[in-house]
Chain A
Protein backbone atom coordinates (compact mmCIF):
# COMPACT_ATOMS: atom_id res chain seq x y z
CA UNK A 1 0.00 0.00 0.00
CA UNK A 2 1.26 3.45 -0.81
CA UNK A 3 2.55 5.45 2.10
CA UNK A 4 1.08 8.83 2.85
CA UNK A 5 3.11 11.85 3.95
CA UNK A 6 2.35 13.61 7.23
CA UNK A 7 3.87 16.78 8.54
CA UNK A 8 3.31 18.43 11.90
CA UNK A 9 5.12 20.16 14.72
CA UNK A 10 5.91 18.00 17.72
CA UNK A 11 6.93 19.89 20.82
CA UNK A 12 8.03 22.80 18.67
CA UNK A 13 10.05 20.93 16.06
CA UNK A 14 9.01 20.06 12.53
CA UNK A 15 8.36 16.38 11.81
CA UNK A 16 7.73 14.79 8.43
CA UNK A 17 7.13 11.08 7.93
CA UNK A 18 5.72 8.65 5.43
CA UNK A 19 3.23 6.38 7.12
CA UNK A 20 0.75 3.67 6.22
CA UNK A 21 -2.68 5.16 5.75
CA UNK A 22 -4.72 4.43 8.85
CA UNK A 23 -1.80 4.62 11.28
CA UNK A 24 -2.90 6.11 14.57
CA UNK A 25 -1.10 9.16 15.86
CA UNK A 26 -0.09 7.05 18.88
CA UNK A 27 1.70 4.50 16.74
CA UNK A 28 3.20 7.16 14.51
CA UNK A 29 4.61 9.01 17.52
CA UNK A 30 5.93 5.93 19.25
CA UNK A 31 7.10 3.71 16.40
CA UNK A 32 7.96 6.18 13.65
CA UNK A 33 9.08 9.33 15.44
CA UNK A 34 10.35 7.70 18.62
CA UNK A 35 8.45 9.75 21.19
CA UNK A 36 7.37 7.02 23.58
CA UNK A 37 5.93 9.33 26.21
CA UNK A 38 2.33 8.67 25.11
CA UNK A 39 1.47 5.14 26.26
CA UNK A 40 -0.80 2.59 24.63
CA UNK A 41 -2.96 1.25 27.45
CA UNK A 42 -6.04 0.11 25.55
CA UNK A 43 -5.91 1.44 21.97
CA UNK A 44 -9.65 1.99 22.13
CA UNK A 45 -10.15 5.27 23.92
CA UNK A 46 -10.89 4.05 27.44
CA UNK A 47 -7.72 4.63 29.50
CA UNK A 48 -6.30 8.05 28.63
CA UNK A 49 -2.67 6.88 28.73
CA UNK A 50 -2.15 8.01 25.12
CA UNK A 51 -3.41 11.58 25.71
CA UNK A 52 -1.62 14.35 23.81
CA UNK A 53 -2.40 17.99 23.11
CA UNK A 54 -3.32 18.86 19.52
CA UNK A 55 -3.70 22.57 18.77
CA UNK A 56 -4.38 23.26 22.44
CA UNK A 57 -7.01 20.55 22.94
CA UNK A 58 -6.69 17.25 24.79
CA UNK A 59 -6.89 14.32 22.35
CA UNK A 60 -6.58 10.55 22.56
CA UNK A 61 -3.78 9.74 20.13
CA UNK A 62 -4.97 6.13 19.83
CA UNK A 63 -8.23 7.36 18.28
CA UNK A 64 -6.61 10.00 16.08
CA UNK A 65 -5.35 9.12 12.62
CA UNK A 66 -1.90 10.56 12.05
CA UNK A 67 -2.84 11.75 8.56
CA UNK A 68 -5.49 14.05 10.05
CA UNK A 69 -2.77 15.91 11.94
CA UNK A 70 -1.16 17.60 8.95
CA UNK A 71 -0.11 21.08 9.94
CA UNK A 72 -1.10 20.58 13.57
CA UNK A 73 0.90 21.58 16.64
CA UNK A 74 1.23 18.55 18.91
CA UNK A 75 2.50 18.56 22.47
CA UNK A 76 3.46 15.47 24.44
CA UNK A 77 4.76 15.12 27.96
CA UNK A 78 8.30 14.61 26.69
CA UNK A 79 8.22 18.18 25.39
CA UNK A 80 7.11 19.90 28.59
CA UNK A 81 10.36 20.54 30.39
CA UNK A 82 12.48 23.43 29.19
CA UNK A 83 16.26 23.26 29.38
CA UNK A 84 16.12 20.58 32.02
CA UNK A 85 13.61 22.52 34.15
CA UNK A 86 10.42 20.61 34.76
CA UNK A 87 7.05 22.09 33.85
CA UNK A 88 5.10 23.15 36.99
CA UNK A 89 2.67 20.25 36.50
CA UNK A 90 5.55 17.76 36.35
CA UNK A 91 7.12 19.37 39.42
CA UNK A 92 3.83 19.07 41.30
CA UNK A 93 3.50 15.38 40.40
CA UNK A 94 6.90 14.79 41.98
CA UNK A 95 6.12 16.88 45.04
CA UNK A 96 2.88 15.05 45.83
CA UNK A 97 4.27 11.59 44.97
CA UNK A 98 1.57 11.28 42.30
CA UNK A 99 3.27 8.57 40.30
CA UNK A 100 4.15 4.95 41.04
CA UNK A 101 4.58 2.71 38.00
CA UNK A 102 4.25 5.84 35.85
CA UNK A 103 2.28 4.28 33.02
CA UNK A 104 -0.66 6.67 33.37
CA UNK A 105 1.50 9.67 34.21
CA UNK A 106 2.26 11.18 30.78
CA UNK A 107 -1.42 11.04 29.81
CA UNK A 108 -2.56 12.40 33.16
CA UNK A 109 -0.06 15.24 32.94
CA UNK A 110 -1.45 16.16 29.51
CA UNK A 111 -4.99 16.22 30.92
CA UNK A 112 -3.83 18.35 33.84
CA UNK A 113 -1.99 20.78 31.60
CA UNK A 114 -4.98 21.33 29.32
CA UNK A 115 -7.22 21.89 32.34
CA UNK A 116 -4.85 24.47 33.80
CA UNK A 117 -4.35 26.17 30.43
CA UNK A 118 -8.10 26.73 30.21
CA UNK A 119 -8.91 27.01 33.92
CA UNK A 120 -5.93 28.28 35.91
CA UNK A 121 -7.72 28.02 39.26
CA UNK A 122 -9.87 24.91 39.10
CA UNK A 123 -12.04 23.62 41.93
CA UNK A 124 -11.48 20.08 43.16
CA UNK A 125 -14.58 19.00 41.23
CA UNK A 126 -13.18 20.48 38.04
CA UNK A 127 -9.91 18.61 38.59
CA UNK A 128 -11.77 15.35 39.15
CA UNK A 129 -13.80 15.95 36.02
CA UNK A 130 -10.67 16.68 33.99
CA UNK A 131 -8.96 13.50 35.20
CA UNK A 132 -11.97 11.26 34.78
CA UNK A 133 -10.75 9.93 31.43
CA UNK A 134 -7.41 8.78 32.82
CA UNK A 135 -7.23 5.38 34.50
CA UNK A 136 -4.58 4.82 37.16
CA UNK A 137 -3.95 1.40 38.66
CA UNK A 138 -1.58 2.48 41.40
CA UNK A 139 -2.17 5.77 43.16
CA UNK A 140 -5.85 5.81 44.13
CA UNK A 141 -6.00 9.25 42.38
CA UNK A 142 -5.86 11.41 45.49
CA UNK A 143 -2.18 12.29 45.04
CA UNK A 144 -2.86 13.13 41.37
CA UNK A 145 -5.74 15.42 42.31
CA UNK A 146 -3.45 17.06 44.88
CA UNK A 147 -0.73 17.47 42.24
CA UNK A 148 -3.06 19.36 39.91
CA UNK A 149 -4.32 21.60 42.72
CA UNK A 150 -0.71 22.24 43.78
CA UNK A 151 0.31 23.15 40.22
CA UNK A 152 -2.65 25.54 40.06
CA UNK A 153 -1.56 27.23 43.29
CA UNK A 154 2.01 27.51 41.98
CA UNK A 155 0.65 29.10 38.78
CA UNK A 156 -1.40 31.69 40.60
CA UNK A 157 1.53 32.59 42.85
CA UNK A 158 3.72 33.15 39.82
CA UNK A 159 1.01 35.26 38.22
CA UNK A 160 0.53 37.38 41.36
Chain B
Protein backbone atom coordinates (compact mmCIF):
# COMPACT_ATOMS: atom_id res chain seq x y z
CA UNK B 1 0.00 0.00 0.00
CA UNK B 2 1.50 3.28 -1.08
CA UNK B 3 1.06 6.74 -2.53
CA UNK B 4 1.81 6.42 -6.23
CA UNK B 5 2.60 9.16 -8.67
CA UNK B 6 1.49 9.36 -12.27
CA UNK B 7 1.56 11.74 -15.18
CA UNK B 8 -1.01 11.97 -17.97
CA UNK B 9 -1.31 13.96 -21.17
CA UNK B 10 -4.35 14.81 -23.29
CA UNK B 11 -4.98 17.07 -26.26
CA UNK B 12 -8.31 18.27 -27.58
CA UNK B 13 -9.83 19.92 -30.59
CA UNK B 14 -12.94 21.93 -29.79
CA UNK B 15 -15.51 23.35 -32.21
CA UNK B 16 -16.83 26.88 -31.77
CA UNK B 17 -20.63 26.77 -31.88
CA UNK B 18 -22.79 23.97 -33.17
CA UNK B 19 -24.46 22.56 -36.23
CA UNK B 20 -28.11 21.80 -35.65
CA UNK B 21 -30.54 23.75 -37.79
CA UNK B 22 -28.05 26.49 -38.68
CA UNK B 23 -26.40 28.73 -36.10
CA UNK B 24 -27.44 32.41 -36.27
CA UNK B 25 -26.87 35.47 -34.12
CA UNK B 26 -28.04 38.97 -34.95
CA UNK B 27 -27.09 42.34 -33.54
CA UNK B 28 -28.28 45.93 -33.80
CA UNK B 29 -26.13 49.00 -33.26
CA UNK B 30 -27.35 52.59 -33.06
CA UNK B 31 -26.02 55.90 -31.85
CA UNK B 32 -27.61 58.04 -29.18
CA UNK B 33 -27.96 61.80 -29.89
CA UNK B 34 -24.64 62.40 -28.12
CA UNK B 35 -22.67 59.96 -30.23
CA UNK B 36 -22.49 57.06 -27.82
CA UNK B 37 -23.23 53.71 -29.38
CA UNK B 38 -25.66 51.12 -28.20
CA UNK B 39 -25.31 47.43 -29.08
CA UNK B 40 -28.51 45.43 -28.69
CA UNK B 41 -28.25 41.66 -28.40
CA UNK B 42 -30.18 38.71 -27.08
CA UNK B 43 -26.98 36.97 -26.10
CA UNK B 44 -26.31 36.53 -22.39
CA UNK B 45 -23.44 37.73 -20.25
CA UNK B 46 -23.26 35.11 -17.51
CA UNK B 47 -19.88 36.15 -16.25
CA UNK B 48 -17.77 35.24 -19.24
CA UNK B 49 -17.44 38.90 -20.23
CA UNK B 50 -19.77 39.14 -23.22
CA UNK B 51 -20.59 42.80 -22.61
CA UNK B 52 -16.98 43.88 -22.38
CA UNK B 53 -15.95 41.95 -25.48
CA UNK B 54 -18.88 43.18 -27.58
CA UNK B 55 -18.15 46.76 -26.48
CA UNK B 56 -14.52 46.32 -27.57
CA UNK B 57 -15.54 44.84 -30.93
CA UNK B 58 -18.10 47.57 -31.62
CA UNK B 59 -15.70 50.33 -30.56
CA UNK B 60 -12.88 48.96 -32.68
CA UNK B 61 -15.13 48.71 -35.74
CA UNK B 62 -16.72 52.14 -35.45
CA UNK B 63 -13.52 53.79 -34.33
CA UNK B 64 -14.50 55.15 -30.92
CA UNK B 65 -13.17 54.49 -27.38
CA UNK B 66 -14.67 51.40 -25.70
CA UNK B 67 -16.31 53.50 -22.98
CA UNK B 68 -18.47 55.17 -25.64
CA UNK B 69 -20.29 51.86 -26.20
CA UNK B 70 -23.14 50.48 -24.10
CA UNK B 71 -24.16 46.84 -24.57
CA UNK B 72 -27.64 45.60 -23.76
CA UNK B 73 -28.03 41.84 -23.58
CA UNK B 74 -30.40 39.04 -23.07
CA UNK B 75 -33.95 40.05 -23.68
CA UNK B 76 -35.36 37.56 -26.16
CA UNK B 77 -38.70 39.44 -26.21
CA UNK B 78 -37.17 42.62 -27.53
CA UNK B 79 -33.65 41.93 -28.80
CA UNK B 80 -32.48 40.66 -32.16
CA UNK B 81 -32.31 36.90 -32.48
CA UNK B 82 -29.50 34.92 -30.85
CA UNK B 83 -29.30 31.15 -30.50
CA UNK B 84 -27.78 31.62 -27.06
CA UNK B 85 -24.58 31.74 -25.12
CA UNK B 86 -23.41 28.14 -25.19
CA UNK B 87 -21.06 25.87 -27.14
CA UNK B 88 -18.37 28.56 -26.80
CA UNK B 89 -20.14 30.49 -29.53
CA UNK B 90 -20.76 33.89 -27.93
CA UNK B 91 -17.65 35.82 -28.93
CA UNK B 92 -17.49 34.25 -32.38
CA UNK B 93 -21.13 34.47 -33.48
CA UNK B 94 -22.25 37.64 -31.69
CA UNK B 95 -18.89 39.28 -32.36
CA UNK B 96 -19.25 38.76 -36.10
CA UNK B 97 -22.81 40.11 -36.00
CA UNK B 98 -21.65 43.17 -34.05
CA UNK B 99 -18.86 43.85 -36.56
CA UNK B 100 -21.38 43.80 -39.40
CA UNK B 101 -23.84 46.07 -37.59
CA UNK B 102 -21.09 48.43 -36.48
CA UNK B 103 -19.71 48.69 -40.04
CA UNK B 104 -23.11 49.73 -41.35
CA UNK B 105 -23.48 52.29 -38.56
CA UNK B 106 -19.96 53.59 -39.20
CA UNK B 107 -20.84 54.09 -42.86
CA UNK B 108 -23.86 56.26 -41.99
CA UNK B 109 -21.76 58.16 -39.46
CA UNK B 110 -19.14 58.92 -42.11
CA UNK B 111 -21.81 59.96 -44.62
CA UNK B 112 -23.26 62.48 -42.16
CA UNK B 113 -19.77 63.72 -41.31
CA UNK B 114 -19.04 64.07 -45.01
CA UNK B 115 -22.09 66.28 -45.48
CA UNK B 116 -21.05 68.45 -42.54
CA UNK B 117 -17.45 68.77 -43.75
CA UNK B 118 -18.44 69.01 -47.42
CA UNK B 119 -16.08 66.24 -48.45
CA UNK B 120 -16.45 62.71 -49.76
CA UNK B 121 -17.21 60.04 -47.13
CA UNK B 122 -14.46 57.82 -48.52
CA UNK B 123 -11.91 60.53 -47.66
CA UNK B 124 -12.71 60.33 -43.94
CA UNK B 125 -11.15 58.36 -41.12
CA UNK B 126 -11.66 58.06 -37.37
CA UNK B 127 -8.96 58.81 -34.80
CA UNK B 128 -10.26 56.31 -32.22
CA UNK B 129 -10.71 59.19 -29.75
CA UNK B 130 -14.17 60.31 -30.86
CA UNK B 131 -13.29 62.43 -33.91
CA UNK B 132 -13.61 62.09 -37.67
CA UNK B 133 -10.81 63.60 -39.76
CA UNK B 134 -10.17 64.18 -43.42
CA UNK B 135 -7.40 61.83 -44.50
CA UNK B 136 -4.22 63.79 -45.03
CA UNK B 137 -5.77 67.00 -43.64
CA UNK B 138 -6.45 66.23 -39.98
CA UNK B 139 -7.03 69.90 -39.15
CA UNK B 140 -10.35 69.45 -40.97
CA UNK B 141 -12.32 67.39 -38.49
CA UNK B 142 -15.58 66.99 -36.63
CA UNK B 143 -16.36 65.25 -33.36
CA UNK B 144 -18.62 62.22 -33.39
CA UNK B 145 -20.70 64.06 -30.80
CA UNK B 146 -21.41 66.79 -33.38
CA UNK B 147 -22.01 64.24 -36.12
CA UNK B 148 -24.63 62.51 -33.97
CA UNK B 149 -26.31 65.81 -33.15
CA UNK B 150 -26.42 66.66 -36.83
CA UNK B 151 -27.82 63.26 -37.77
CA UNK B 152 -30.53 63.44 -35.16
CA UNK B 153 -31.58 67.11 -35.31
CA UNK B 154 -30.58 68.38 -38.70
CA UNK B 155 -30.31 65.61 -41.26
CA UNK B 156 -32.92 63.18 -39.99
CA UNK B 157 -30.68 60.15 -40.21
CA UNK B 158 -30.33 57.17 -37.95
CA UNK B 159 -26.70 56.23 -37.37
CA UNK B 160 -27.41 52.55 -37.07
CA UNK B 161 -26.64 49.18 -38.49
CA UNK B 162 -27.84 45.59 -38.65
CA UNK B 163 -25.67 42.55 -38.18
CA UNK B 164 -26.67 39.03 -39.19
CA UNK B 165 -24.18 36.24 -38.77
CA UNK B 166 -25.20 32.76 -39.75
CA UNK B 167 -23.24 29.55 -39.97
CA UNK B 168 -25.56 27.55 -42.25
CA UNK B 169 -26.42 24.00 -41.41
CA UNK B 170 -24.01 21.48 -42.86
CA UNK B 171 -25.49 18.25 -44.18
CA UNK B 172 -23.36 15.13 -44.57
CA UNK B 173 -22.49 14.14 -48.12
CA UNK B 174 -24.53 11.07 -49.09
CA UNK B 175 -21.60 9.05 -50.42
CA UNK B 176 -18.93 9.70 -47.84
CA UNK B 177 -20.70 11.08 -44.79
CA UNK B 178 -18.24 13.99 -44.85
CA UNK B 179 -19.53 17.24 -43.42
CA UNK B 180 -18.37 20.49 -41.94
CA UNK B 181 -19.99 20.72 -38.50
CA UNK B 182 -17.88 23.69 -37.46
CA UNK B 183 -15.85 26.37 -39.20
CA UNK B 184 -13.55 27.18 -36.34
CA UNK B 185 -11.72 25.02 -33.80
CA UNK B 186 -9.85 25.87 -30.63
CA UNK B 187 -7.19 23.51 -29.30
CA UNK B 188 -5.74 22.62 -25.95
CA UNK B 189 -3.28 20.28 -24.34
CA UNK B 190 -2.88 19.44 -20.66
CA UNK B 191 -0.26 17.56 -18.70
CA UNK B 192 -1.50 16.51 -15.26
CA UNK B 193 0.51 15.06 -12.41
CA UNK B 194 -1.34 13.17 -9.71
CA UNK B 195 -0.79 11.19 -6.56
CA UNK B 196 -3.05 8.21 -5.97
CA UNK B 197 -3.31 6.52 -2.62
CA UNK B 198 -3.85 2.88 -3.60
CA UNK B 199 -5.21 2.09 -0.15
CA UNK B 200 -7.93 4.77 -0.03
CA UNK B 201 -8.31 5.44 -3.75
CA UNK B 202 -7.90 9.13 -3.15
CA UNK B 203 -6.47 11.25 -5.98
CA UNK B 204 -4.58 14.50 -5.47
CA UNK B 205 -3.83 16.57 -8.54
CA UNK B 206 -0.40 18.09 -7.94
CA UNK B 207 0.05 20.13 -11.11
CA UNK B 208 -1.77 20.88 -14.34
CA UNK B 209 0.08 22.52 -17.18
CA UNK B 210 -2.27 23.74 -19.90
CA UNK B 211 -1.65 25.17 -23.33
CA UNK B 212 -4.64 26.74 -25.07
CA UNK B 213 -4.81 27.83 -28.70
CA UNK B 214 -7.75 30.20 -28.81
CA UNK B 215 -7.40 32.38 -31.88
CA UNK B 216 -6.80 35.98 -30.89
CA UNK B 217 -7.25 36.87 -27.22
CA UNK B 218 -9.44 39.97 -27.53
CA UNK B 219 -9.06 40.71 -23.83
CA UNK B 220 -6.02 38.83 -22.51
CA UNK B 221 -6.77 39.24 -18.80
CA UNK B 222 -10.32 37.99 -19.23
CA UNK B 223 -9.08 35.09 -21.32
CA UNK B 224 -6.67 34.15 -18.55
CA UNK B 225 -9.49 34.38 -16.03
CA UNK B 226 -11.62 31.99 -18.12
CA UNK B 227 -8.79 29.55 -18.63
CA UNK B 228 -7.70 29.38 -14.99
CA UNK B 229 -11.30 28.92 -13.83
CA UNK B 230 -11.92 26.40 -16.59
CA UNK B 231 -8.85 24.37 -15.71
CA UNK B 232 -10.06 24.14 -12.12
CA UNK B 233 -13.51 23.14 -13.37
CA UNK B 234 -11.97 20.40 -15.53
CA UNK B 235 -10.30 18.89 -12.47
CA UNK B 236 -13.58 19.21 -10.63
CA UNK B 237 -15.36 17.26 -13.37
CA UNK B 238 -12.61 14.66 -13.47
CA UNK B 239 -12.63 13.90 -9.76
CA UNK B 240 -15.66 15.30 -7.98
CA UNK B 241 -18.78 16.47 -9.72
CA UNK B 242 -21.78 14.42 -10.69
CA UNK B 243 -25.51 14.54 -10.19
CA UNK B 244 -25.79 10.80 -10.87
CA UNK B 245 -22.93 8.85 -9.24
CA UNK B 246 -24.52 5.54 -10.30
CA UNK B 247 -25.76 6.71 -13.67
CA UNK B 248 -28.25 5.89 -15.16
CA UNK B 249 -29.58 5.13 -11.69
CA UNK B 250 -30.51 8.44 -9.99
CA UNK B 251 -29.90 7.14 -6.46
CA UNK B 252 -27.36 8.91 -4.28
CA UNK B 253 -27.21 11.97 -6.50
CA UNK B 254 -26.10 15.04 -4.58
CA UNK B 255 -28.96 17.30 -3.56
CA UNK B 256 -27.01 20.20 -2.04
CA UNK B 257 -23.51 21.57 -1.58
CA UNK B 258 -22.85 19.07 1.21
CA UNK B 259 -23.14 16.22 -1.26
CA UNK B 260 -22.36 17.80 -4.62
CA UNK B 261 -18.65 18.23 -4.26
CA UNK B 262 -16.17 20.57 -5.86
CA UNK B 263 -12.57 21.31 -4.93
CA UNK B 264 -12.33 24.29 -2.60
CA UNK B 265 -9.61 26.90 -2.27
CA UNK B 266 -7.56 24.44 -0.21
CA UNK B 267 -7.56 21.76 -2.93
CA UNK B 268 -6.02 23.70 -5.80
CA UNK B 269 -3.51 22.08 -8.10
CA UNK B 270 -0.51 24.14 -9.09
CA UNK B 271 -1.83 25.50 -12.38
CA UNK B 272 0.00 26.81 -15.39
CA UNK B 273 -1.66 28.47 -18.38
CA UNK B 274 -0.02 29.22 -21.69
CA UNK B 275 -1.99 30.95 -24.44
CA UNK B 276 -1.17 30.52 -28.12
CA UNK B 277 -2.77 33.03 -30.44
CA UNK B 278 -3.42 31.81 -33.98
CA UNK B 279 -6.08 34.20 -35.31
CA UNK B 280 -8.98 32.33 -36.90
CA UNK B 281 -10.00 33.09 -40.45
CA UNK B 282 -13.69 33.68 -39.77
CA UNK B 283 -13.63 34.92 -36.16
CA UNK B 284 -14.22 38.54 -35.10
CA UNK B 285 -10.72 40.06 -35.14
CA UNK B 286 -9.43 36.49 -35.20
CA UNK B 287 -11.13 35.23 -32.03
CA UNK B 288 -12.32 31.67 -31.41
CA UNK B 289 -14.37 30.32 -28.54
CA UNK B 290 -12.19 29.57 -25.50
CA UNK B 291 -15.14 29.14 -23.13
CA UNK B 292 -16.05 25.50 -22.72
CA UNK B 293 -13.02 23.87 -24.21
CA UNK B 294 -10.79 25.14 -21.41
CA UNK B 295 -12.44 22.71 -18.98
CA UNK B 296 -12.03 19.66 -21.23
CA UNK B 297 -8.42 18.46 -21.54
CA UNK B 298 -7.85 18.13 -17.78
CA UNK B 299 -10.36 15.28 -17.64
CA UNK B 300 -8.60 12.77 -19.93
CA UNK B 301 -5.22 14.01 -18.68
CA UNK B 302 -6.18 13.16 -15.09
CA UNK B 303 -7.62 9.79 -16.16
CA UNK B 304 -4.37 9.02 -17.96
CA UNK B 305 -2.34 10.12 -14.96
CA UNK B 306 -4.36 7.82 -12.71
CA UNK B 307 -3.63 4.96 -15.12
CA UNK B 308 0.06 5.85 -15.07
CA UNK B 309 0.02 5.88 -11.27
CA UNK B 310 -1.89 2.71 -10.42
CA UNK B 311 -2.50 0.91 -13.72
CA UNK B 312 -6.29 1.06 -13.83
CA UNK B 313 -8.36 2.68 -16.59
CA UNK B 314 -11.34 4.50 -15.13
CA UNK B 315 -13.76 5.19 -17.97
CA UNK B 316 -16.62 6.66 -15.94
CA UNK B 317 -16.60 10.13 -14.43
CA UNK B 318 -15.96 11.32 -11.87
CA UNK B 319 -12.91 9.26 -10.94
CA UNK B 320 -13.91 8.65 -7.34
CA UNK B 321 -11.96 6.72 -4.70
CA UNK B 322 -14.68 4.08 -4.90
CA UNK B 323 -14.18 3.56 -8.63
CA UNK B 324 -10.43 3.35 -8.26
CA UNK B 325 -10.62 0.82 -5.43
CA UNK B 326 -13.13 -1.32 -7.33
CA UNK B 327 -10.89 -1.29 -10.39
CA UNK B 328 -7.82 -2.15 -8.33
CA UNK B 329 -9.69 -5.01 -6.73
CA UNK B 330 -10.92 -6.33 -10.08
CA UNK B 331 -7.38 -6.25 -11.40
CA UNK B 332 -5.72 -7.91 -8.39
CA UNK B 333 -4.82 -11.58 -8.83
CA UNK B 334 -6.69 -13.48 -6.11
Contacts and interface: CB of A to CB of B under 8 A. Distances in A.
Nearest to B227: A140
Contact of A139 (B49, B228, B258): B228
Given A100-B225, A101-B47, A144 B265 contact: yes
B264 interface: yes
Interface stretch (A41-49, A50-58, A115-123, A152-160): A41-49
B317 to A, nearest CB: 18
A135 B231 CA distance: 16
A66 interface: no
Interface string B218-236: 0001101110111111000
24 contacts: A41-B257, A42-B257, A44-B256, A46-B257, A47-B257, A99-B47, A100-B49, A100-B225, A101-B47, A102-B47, A132-B264, A132-B266, A135-B262, A135-B264, A139-B232, A140-B228, A140-B230, A140-B231, A140-B232, A140-B271, A141-B232, A141-B268, A142-B268, A145-B265
A138 B228 contact: no
Given A97-B224, A139-B229, A140-B232, 5 more contacts: A100-B48, A131-B265, A138-B47, A140-B271, A144-B265
A7 interface: no
B2 interface: no
Nearest to A134: B265
Interface in A75-130: 97, 99-102, 127-129
Interface of B: 46-49, 221-222, 224-226, 228-233, 256-258, 262, 264-266, 268, 271
Contacts of B271: 140, 142
Interface of A: 41-42, 44, 46-47, 97, 99-102, 127-129, 131-132, 135, 137-145
Given A46-B258, A132-B264, A142 B46 contact: no
A100 B268 contact: no
Contacts of B265: 127-128, 131-132, 141, 144-145
Nearest to B219: A97
Contacts of A139: 225, 228-229, 232
A102 B45 CA distance: 11
A131 B263 CA distance: 12
Contact of B228 (A44, A132, A143): A143
Given A42-B257, A97-B224, A142-B271, A128 B231 contact: no
A138 B264 contact: no
Nearest to A97: B225
A47 to B, nearest CB: 6
A144 B264 CA distance: 12
A143 B225 contact: yes
A140 B233 CA distance: 7
Nearest to B230: A140
Query: Which 5 pairs from chain A and chain B are nearest by CB?
Result: A140-B232, A101-B47, A100-B47, A46-B257, A141-B265
Contacts of B47: 99-102, 138
Contacts of A135: 257, 262, 264
A94 to B, nearest CB: 11
Contacts of B222: 97
A44 B256 CA distance: 9
A42 B229 contact: no
Contacts of A46: 256-258
A152 B225 CA distance: 21
Given A46-B257, A100-B48, A102-B47, A140 B262 contact: no
B49 to A, nearest CB: 8
Nearest to B270: A142
A140 B234 CA distance: 10
Contacts of A41: 257
Contacts of B262: 135, 137
Contacts of B230: 140
Contacts of A128: 265-266
Nearest to A148: B265
Contacts of B229: 100, 138-140
A97 B258 CA distance: 28
A127 B268 CA distance: 13
A142 to B, nearest CB: 6
A143 B223 CA distance: 13
B302 to A, nearest CB: 15
B268 A140 contact: yes
B228 A142 contact: yes
A28 to B, nearest CB: 23
A132 B233 CA distance: 17
